[in-house]
Every structure is written in C-alpha cells, then in structure tokens.
Amino acid sequence: MSKLLFLEDAYQKEAVGVVIGHTPEGGILLDAPLFYATSGGQPGDSGVLKWDGHSTEIATTVKTLDGAIALVPSAPEELPPIGTDVKQVLDWGRRHRHMRVHTALHLLSVVIPLPVTGGSIGAEKGRLDFDMPEAPEDKQALSDALNALIDRDLAVTEDWITDAELEANPGLVKTMSVAPPKGAGKIRLVRIGTEDEQVDLQPCGGTHVASTGEIGRVRIGKIEKKGKQNRRVYLHLDA
C-alpha cells in the first residue's frame, strides 16, 4: 500500500519517491505518490518526474483497477526502472486552483442544502448537480452567501471515522452519485468551521485549502436544467 502524501499535506509541492512498478499502459507507480489521482470529480495532478539526469512530464494521474496510483507521462518515453529514486515536482498552480474550487464547492452544498447528484472540478470553475426541481431565482444572492462564508476565513480540517460510524450517520453523505470509499476501515471527513461552530462536514478524499479565505472571490455562473429533477450549478473563481 503506497503512502499518500497528498492526503498528509496538500501543500507539499515536491517529494522524493521510489518506483515500485509500471502499468501496462506506461504509468509509473511510486511508493509515496505526491500526485492526486483523478477521482470524486477532481482531476489528476500533473507535473514533472526527475531522476538520474532524466525528466518526464506527467500529464495526469489515475487510479488503476486495483486502486494503485499511476503517474501518466505526457508522451511514450523511457520510464525510470523499478527501484529508482525519483523527485516528484507538482504543477502547484494547477493543484492549488483545484483545491480552491473543491473547497468552494463544499460551501456551495451549504448554501444550496439539497442532495448532490454529481460534480466536477476544474482549475477555473467547478459545478455541482443538485436534485432541484426548480432553478434558484436569485443567482446573486447565492454568490453573496458563498462569499460571506469565504470571508469568515473558516478553518478547513479533517477527521476520520470508521465504516460503521458512517453507516450510523448516513446524513453525512451529500453526494448521491458517488459513494464514499469503504472497506479500508476508516473514512476521511472534511470539516469547514470548528466542531462547535461547524458549517459543513462530509466524506471526501480530495485536496482542500486550509481556510476558506484562501478561496478568493467566487461567483455563480450558468444554472442548467439536466433532467426533470436536476439542475447543474456552475461556480467560477474570479481570480
């Protein structure tokens, strides 16, 4: 089982690792991946891998069928052999924008307290799909409510519970389309605010900023109808 550095410290920009395998498609497996793998609507990280005078651009990062994390080179080329020490250099600007958007989407699920049926995260914008028969009448009011939460500079922290504790508290799961990962014995919760003054708490394996003030200004964009009961709400970073 690899050590997941992106979960230990979402702000770590560089790290060393050891190549422990390759995938049939040319992906690189490391003992301690710094790069986040595509999941939960968040794209896989990109960056550079360096070793012994060589370097390769990493286009994205994905999970294999057995749950390992594979760094995918941008073009077919020589891979570092198994056992090689490598330096991982994250495309930090892109990752940080994903962190800002992802945390903002958690807040969007607070200002629109309806079941979430899907979502997607990008470097400039993100979106959530809601079980929402009618579209909100006032997008500006939603933007104002989001920015008010951001301006409170609320702490974003994590906690861990067991599978059994999650089953006993099904209300923690907001997303109807993606079940939180179970079977590992523990599940990560992301909290916005303190335990005493909690704004949001939900299972999530993604990367987030340390406080809401780091998100910056956001605005609500298009709201699209996606079926009889669903509305897709876009959120944009303003800078």
d(CA 202, CA 179): 11
Same domain for 72 and 99, yes or no, is: no
Same domain for 76 and 139, yes or no, is: no
**Rounded mean pLDDT, 1-10:** 91
* Cβ pair 127, 235 in contact under 8 A: yes
Q: Is the pLDDT of residue 98 over 90?
A: yes
Side chain identity at 107, as an amino acid letter?
Answer: L
Same domain for 126 and 202, yes or no, is: yes
Question: The whole model's pTM is what?
Answer: 0.92
Same domain for 80 and 15, yes or no, is: yes
* Cβ pair 107, 216 in contact under 8 A: no
- Domain limit, last residue, from 90, 114, 138: 90
Which pLDDT value is given to residue 177?
46
Which pLDDT value is given to residue 65?
92
Same domain for 125 and 37, yes or no, is: no
Tell the burial category of 28 from Cβ atoms under 10 Å away from its Cβ (0-12, 13-18, 19+). buried
Same domain for 224 and 110, yes or no, is: yes
* CA distances from residue 106 to 2, 16, 56 in whole angstroms, order as listed: 27, 31, 34
Same domain for 60 and 83, yes or no, is: yes
What domain range is 154 assigned to?
Answer: 95-237
* Cβ pair 108, 144 in contact under 8 A: no
Length of the chain: 239
* Cβ pair 71, 33 in contact under 8 A: yes
| Crossing angle for the helix pair 139-151 and 92-111, to the nearest 10 degrees | 120
* Cβ pair 202, 103 in contact under 8 A: no
| DSSP 8-state code for residue 66 | T
Half-sphere exposure of 60 (CA within 13 A, CB side): 9
Which pLDDT value is given to residue 174?
63
Cα Rg of the chain, angstroms: 19
- CA torsion through residues 193, 161, 100, 232, sign: negative
**Rounded mean pLDDT, 200-223:** 96
Same domain for 108 and 77, yes or no, is: no
Same domain for 101 and 80, yes or no, is: no
142: CATH: 3.30.980.10
Residue 228's pLDDT band (cuts 50, 70, 90): confident
Helices then strands, each counted (H, E), the chain: 4, 13
Number of structural domains the chain divides into = 2
d(CA 188, CA 160): 5
Bridge partners (DSSP) of residue 125 are 236
- Domain limit, last residue, from 90, 107, 123: 90
Write out pLDDT tens, residues 151-179.
999 999 999 888 777 777 777 766 644 55
Q: Which of 132, 147, 135, 174 is nearest to 235 (CA)?
A: 147
Calculated CA dihedral for residues 99, 104, 110, 111, nearest 10 degrees: -170
Q: Is the pLDDT of residue 81 over 90?
A: yes
Query: Pick the residue with more confidence: 228 or 206?
Result: 206
Same domain for 127 and 232, yes or no, is: yes
Q: What is the residue-averaged pLDDT of the chain?
A: 92
Same domain for 110 and 203, yes or no, is: yes
- Domain limit, last residue, from 56, 90, 124: 90
Same domain for 106 and 220, yes or no, is: yes
39: CATH: 2.40.30.130
